[in-house]
Structure 1
Amino acid sequence: MHNKPLIYKPQSYAAMLLVIIIAACSSPEKKKTTKKEPSPEEINTESSKKNLEEWKKDKLSLFVYFGVYSLYEGKTENQPIDGAAENIRALAGITPENYARKAREFDPKKWDANEIVNLARDIGMKRIVLDAKHHDGFCLFKTQTTDFNSVDFTPANKDFVKEMSDACESGNIKLSLSYSLTDWHLPAAMPMSENHNTPVTEEHHNVNLKRIEELLTNYGSVSELYLYSGLNTPEQSRDLRQLIKKLQPECLISDGIGNDMGDFVASEYNSLPAKTPDVAWNMLASAFSDTRGYKDTKSEVDPLPIAKKKVKEMIRVLSSGGNYSLSIGVKADGTTEGVEEEVLKNLGRWIKVNREAVYETMESPFKTAASNYKITRKENKLYLFMESVPASSSIRISGLNNKITAARFLGSGIPLEVVNRGNVNEILWTAPAMADPMEVPVIEAEFEETIRPIPERGISINAADTLTLDNTNAFHHTGITQQDQITAIPSSTALTWHVSAGHPQQAEFRFLQTLKGKEIAVDTANGEQQIVLNGKQSHLVCSKYDTIQTGDIYRSEIFYGDLKEVHVNPNGSNRLRILNTSWHNLKNTKDSHLIPLPMSTRYYYVEIESENEQQYCYRVTGNDGMQVWFNQEEILLNRNNVPGTPLIKELVFDLKKGKNILLIKNYNRVGSKDYFDLKPLSDAHWWRQTISIPAEPEYLKLKPVAQQNPFQEAGFENLTIVLTPENQTK
């Protein structure tokens, strides 16, 4: 449901800035109120957890794009637009009057919601997601907020959400809806921006609340609500979530609600996450990379190669533990004939043959994927999606500590010979008898016992060992945290170390004062214990006798774009070059603290001279996001959970003797003040606290107890655990 981010050219950025300034000025001034943060139970509710488990089993859904934009067929003045057909109003600069005039022609006489439902069922989709309102503001449902809807404004005089709701109920398929938080038709949300990730005014927010109330009140059960676009404040996101969960507690919400208040992550269209999340996630895909809405130019394309590509894309998502959604753009007359429908039907035929490998499956038990096949699992079975013929005559599967008992091709049922050699299982390859038009035959391999995930390489401790656990040797559980799509970045939500120790351990936690009072859960195979980090003050972080010298701070020119974009080479060593701009010494700059612009990034370069190898602590302050590299290695990427306020991090650097290079990216999303600051903390101390870890822990997992939701950063950057056998500490 997300749209591909713009590449920010000067002119488009200027327009974007104008939009934000006007939006801010047009909003009535309100007294600032402090609202209580939602509790973890309000966000990660038990009903949400239960529904997420069912949602993960369903795996597949069909998105339906349909609206006034369908009348244009991706063209203006008979010329195709460059971009998404559903965004034609902004991309082609169509005036409100002309777009409204076009809407008067919207009369899809051949529309039949039952046909869409039958198509989805034939393909194997478990849910239908209808785009109830896109950025253009046209509502496919009767609403009291505007007459710009399919019932009151068009000759169709139909409530398409109602028709889809009825058809889904008759067809025993789950109804979901998507809704854009941007509105190019609503005066309170003007002016229009092709970027459509602009702040939501208070009046616009109230309209969104009213419409979502209508959608969740008038159309029966809604299994998911995909919110997208727009820049909500934390308070606005909270308002939306509380309304949705009040009206339909079991309705799942996408992360497009903003500020980490969704139930699951929805990817950018046709884009896999850079890091596979450990939270519930869904890849949104379309047959054509540039559009979801119907484009007339698509009719000349061969659907088979696209279907093959989408099958492999879907397999990659399923093997990584995600769900998969594919979209179809409905024509202006209401029909779905064309390339997209053929792509879907090809996909459906493949799914029908291999359904056991798709539904109710889990991600591959292996952290590293094989080169020629992907894997899903279910109970005591592995499913191997063979993307190419094995280089040897057998497929070797090792590390499961589980014996293979049988293997067969799905579809034909033809068995394959299996061999067990200790911890190595082999499937002897035979070409499948039944040709697969998608060129991905699937092997079902059955084992004696339930298949468990293979942990990261473990660490063994003998009776004389002392072991240090930190961020560098931990497995990082990954979420995706965001205020909006532009600020979306991976987050480390928990840390796990796989530890083998046959005797009890003393675990000494070492941390900075900033973590004092933080409640954490320490989980092992023997159970969980919760502790509050208080401890006792220990030694200084830095050496009393070795000196350091923090050099001048150099600042880059300004860049625009997403938080995750990197505009400089962190491995570069020449501070005088940054693309085609230069660094400025803040000591010689009068405007060392400029008023930052929206979606702007500046980089700061510092050289630190150290007399010897040692640790040193710095306090780094930034705006809505920070990324830090030290000696060319990334050590921090964080988003501010309270946008517009200072983001403060105390970081301990391992200084080498001689020159060290610190590079800091400071990102501003919407704030009006530059908070950047870098301060050495010569008086920073370590704090220490010890707990006991029982023998045979198998693993040690660390996570915050009072985490607001499963997406936010855990904040364990400077936490170290030293394991020592208890007999050595007595």
Structure 2
Amino acid sequence: MTCIAILAATAVWSIPTSASVPSPDPYANETPQQRDARMQWWRQARFGMFIHWGVYSVPAGVYQGKQIPGIGEWIMFNAKIPVAEYKQFARQFNPVRYDPEQWVLLAKEAGMRYIVITSKHHDGFALFDSSASDWDVVDATPYGKDLLAPLAQACQRHGIKLGFYYSQAQDWTNPGGGVCGQKWDKIQEGDMDQYIRNVAVPQVRELLTKYGPIAILWWDTPCGMTRQMADQLISLLALQPWIIHNNRLGGGYSGDTETPEQYIPATGLGDRDFEVCMTMNDTWGYKSYDNNWKSTQTLVRNLVDIASKGGNYLLNVGPTSEGLIPEPSVQRLKEIGAWMRVNGQAIYGTTASPFKRLPWGRCTKKINPDGVILYLHVFDWPADGMLQVPGLKSQIRSATLLADGRRLEVQQGQKGPIIRLPADPPDRISSTVMLEIQGPILVEQPPLQQAADGTLALPAIEAITHGRQLRYEQGQQRDCLGFWTDPQDWAHWDVEVTKPGTFQVTVQVAGLAQSRLQIAAAGQSLSVTCPATGDYGRFEQMEAGMITISMPGKATITAKPIAEGWQPVNLRSITLKPL
């Protein structure tokens, strides 16, 4: 991934350095106020384009007539293609249809505020003219021209910030480069310290000095990186005052942003800025046969969900070797852009929702000098036209439908304000109601509610845990109750039942060995066998049986280990579905 972020900085200050403990990190002694100022544009942007492009777009997922499993840009690694043979693909990399102006305008039309492009991915191939290696687009391909310079110019013309992805450690072609795993070609052997000094450091210096203002440096996969290696690279950030970099450099540096990949953190990441990077299909680099495209609805709702947790969305495109962004990507970006033109103010510059959950969608907020604005993103438009905002105690000054500016009636309900909506939503993917709040935000978190069809969903994040070890685990292939080593630990969920009845109970569990859980509610209990799934991140859904909750009102559902033969289990969710 390579991305150049163009930052039109109008003012730069000198960040103080410590005389007693010198650090190569130019931000080592940055004050919170200075950091907030540096991060301001990024927090305002909320939406960016990731571009994965390189020689791997030539084989496009196919080697020696076989489709190679895995993501497209890892084909050299996954198929263990010899270096000399892989380099032959560069002779077919001739992006004569590359139009950086069109790419930038597409990103802008989609509502994206910045672009990050892979200047050099793990195969070591550089999309720019590098004096540190001839394994680049100018020296190794028939195209023979720098691909980053015209993109940087187009970004500057159209007010889009540019960032570069740079694979600083993994390099499967230049001798001495790192590999996350075993090397497979003797040409790859060499000294990694020498590789860092002679290839990585000079190339990062080129990226930060040849293309104008750069807003982001996006490191990746720090396999083999030592503190000494990382020191040489982080010091180069001083060449671009105010540049932002992520948490993947290695050597103990945390960077400015966390980078959840292909998943959305369930509760955000606390006080850490984060950027969720995701593909539109199942690959980053182009694969000719990957047509598993996410719907526009999924992509828009991902954007909303991420913004509601205080993060940015870096959405990927993988151009072909001719330089074309695949048409399904173009179509989805245009459709996202149509949604953003109406609802963008509910995304740009917003911060995380004050609500732990909302049964119909998500919320983002803005704090202004004259008060707070809540943007209610309604995914599930209420059939009766009554939108309840559970737990909101603040006074609402006004409620407006963002699509057309229509004022909406607000009345106070028993569980929170109720907003009267028109019969049909302006947008079936997500429609926005804007609430202007008088005074501070006051929210009282209500218990879990039944869905419209009566289903009770009990996700791990909502559990109240009891004991020494059991706790919520966040992350890809997690989002579960984990560390359940002690059979005395247990969890419960408080719920409000409005539609009593008999429910089919299912659980999502994972573990290395078979174990048993007891699920209980309303004086009844069920024993469910949790199978050995082979991995703590490989979840299976198991039926536990039926439970009857005969009375409306508050109820408690518990999950407890059956001590005999107990083996650790990860529990992602319990679902009660009405029969």
TM-score relative to the length of structure 1:
0.55
Secondary structure of the structure 2 residue equivalent to 1:152: helix
Note if 1:271 corresponds to 2:257: no
The aligned residue for residue 276 of structure 2 is: 283
Q: Is the 8 A contact 2:56 2:72 kept in 1?
A: yes
Secondary structure of the structure 2 residue equivalent to 1:257: coil
Secondary structure of the structure 2 residue equivalent to 1:72: coil
Q: Which runs of 5+ in 2 are unaligned?
A: 3-20, 447-464, 467-472, 489-510, 515-559, 569-579
Q: CA deviation at 1:44?
A: 4.5
Q: Distance in 2 between matches of 1:350 and 1:318?
A: 15
Q: CA deviation at 1:398?
A: 5.6
Q: Is the 8 A contact 1:266 1:284 kept in 2?
A: no
Q: Distance in 1 between matches of 2:302 and 2:409?
A: 29
Q: Distance in 2 between matches of 1:352 and 1:423?
A: 33
Deviations 1:301-322 (A, max 9, x none): 5x5x621111111111100000
The aligned residue for residue 302 of structure 2 is: 313
Count of residue pairs the alignment pairs up: 446
The aligned residue for residue 374 of structure 1 is: 362
Note if 1:131 corresponds to 2:123: no
Deviations 1:674-705 (A, max 9, x none): xxxxxxxxxxxxxxxxxxxxxxxxxxxxxxxx
Q: Distance in 1 between matches of 2:173 and 2:139?
A: 15
Secondary structure of the structure 2 residue equivalent to 1:426: strand
CA 171–395 in structure 1, closer or farther in 2 if over 3 Å, else same: same
Q: Is the 8 A contact 1:264 1:282 kept in 2?
A: no
Deviations 1:482-521 (A, max 9, x none): xxxxxxx989xxxxxxxxxxxxxxxxxxxxxxxxxxxxxx
Q: How does 1:289-300 map to 2 (within 5 A)?
A: 290-299=282-291
The aligned residue for residue 345 of structure 1 is: 334
The aligned residue for residue 82 of structure 2 is: 95
The aligned residue for residue 544 of structure 1 is: none
CA 350–579 in structure 1, closer or farther in 2 if over 3 Å, else same: closer
Q: CA deviation at 1:281?
A: 0.6
Note if 1:188 corresponds to 2:188: no
Q: Is the 8 A contact 2:278 2:316 kept in 1?
A: yes
Secondary structure of the structure 2 residue equivalent to 1:151: helix
Deviations 1:581-620 (A, max 9, x none): 9xxxxxxxxxxxxxxxxxxxxxxxxxxxxxxxxxxxxxxx
Q: Is the 8 A contact 2:410 2:419 kept in 1?
A: yes
The aligned residue for residue 21 of structure 1 is: none
**Among 181, 192, 206, the residue aligned to 1:201:** 192
CA 397–191 in structure 1, closer or farther in 2 if over 3 Å, else same: closer
**Among 459, 482, 485, the residue aligned to 1:570:** 485
Q: Is the 8 A contact 1:151 1:158 kept in 2?
A: yes
Q: CA deviation at 1:268?
A: 3.7
The one-letter amino acid of 2:395's match is K
**Among 46, 49, 55, the residue aligned to 1:68:** 55
Q: Distance in 2 between matches of 1:308 and 1:167?
A: 29
Secondary structure of the structure 1 residue equivalent to 2:92: coil
Deviations 1:405-458 (A, max 9, x none): 322222233332112479943212333363x2x521111122234x5475999x
Q: CA deviation at 1:49?
A: 2.9
The aligned residue for residue 83 of structure 1 is: 70
Q: Distance in 1 between matches of 2:397 and 2:239?
A: 49
CA 38–163 in structure 1, closer or farther in 2 if over 3 Å, else same: closer
Aligned residues: percent identity? 27
**Among 401, 404, 426, the residue aligned to 2:418:** 426
The aligned residue for residue 158 of structure 2 is: 171
Q: Distance in 1 between matches of 2:301 and 2:349?
A: 18
The aligned residue for residue 37 of structure 2 is: 50
Q: Distance in 2 between matches of 1:428 and 1:455?
A: 21
Deviations 1:160-211 (A, max 9, x none): 1112111111122111110112100111126674799x99921122221221
**Among 416, 426, 431, the residue aligned to 1:441:** 431
Q: Distance in 2 between matches of 1:421 and 1:456?
A: 15
Deviations 1:618-673 (A, max 9, x none): xxxxxxxxxxxxxx99xxxxxxxxxxxxxxxxxxxxxxxxxxx9x9xxxxxxxxxx
The one-letter amino acid of 2:326's match is E
Q: CA deviation at 1:391?
A: 7.0
The one-letter amino acid of 1:285's match is M
Q: CA deviation at 1:338?
A: 1.8
Larger radius of gyration: 1
**Among 230, 234, 239, the residue aligned to 1:241:** 234
The one-letter amino acid of 1:150's match is V
TM-score relative to the length of structure 2:
0.69
Q: Is the 8 A contact 1:90 1:192 kept in 2?
A: no
The aligned residue for residue 702 of structure 1 is: none
Q: Is the 8 A contact 1:409 1:432 kept in 2?
A: no
Secondary structure of the structure 2 residue equivalent to 1:188: coil
Q: CA deviation at 1:234?
A: 2.7
Q: Distance in 1 between matches of 2:251 and 2:478?
A: 14
Q: CA deviation at 1:112?
A: 1.0
Deviations 1:306-347 (A, max 9, x none): 211111111111000001110101011111132122122221
The aligned residue for residue 9 of structure 2 is: none
The aligned residue for residue 553 of structure 1 is: none
Q: Distance in 1 between matches of 2:437 and 2:513?
A: 59
Q: How does 1:556-567 map to 2 (within 5 A)?
A: none
Q: Is the 8 A contact 2:278 2:315 kept in 1?
A: yes
Q: Is the 8 A contact 1:227 1:254 kept in 2?
A: yes
Q: Distance in 2 between matches of 1:352 and 1:195?
A: 48
Q: How does 1:217-232 map to 2 (within 5 A)?
A: 217-231=209-223, 232=225
**Among 398, 403, 409, the residue aligned to 2:395:** 403
Note if 1:150 corresponds to 2:137: yes
Q: Which runs of 5+ in 1 are unaligned?
A: 3-34, 458-471, 474-488, 492-561, 582-631, 634-660, 664-730
Q: Distance in 2 between matches of 1:281 and 1:108?
A: 33
Q: Distance in 2 between matches of 1:199 and 1:376?
A: 50
The aligned residue for residue 328 of structure 1 is: 317
Q: Is the 8 A contact 2:301 2:429 kept in 1?
A: no
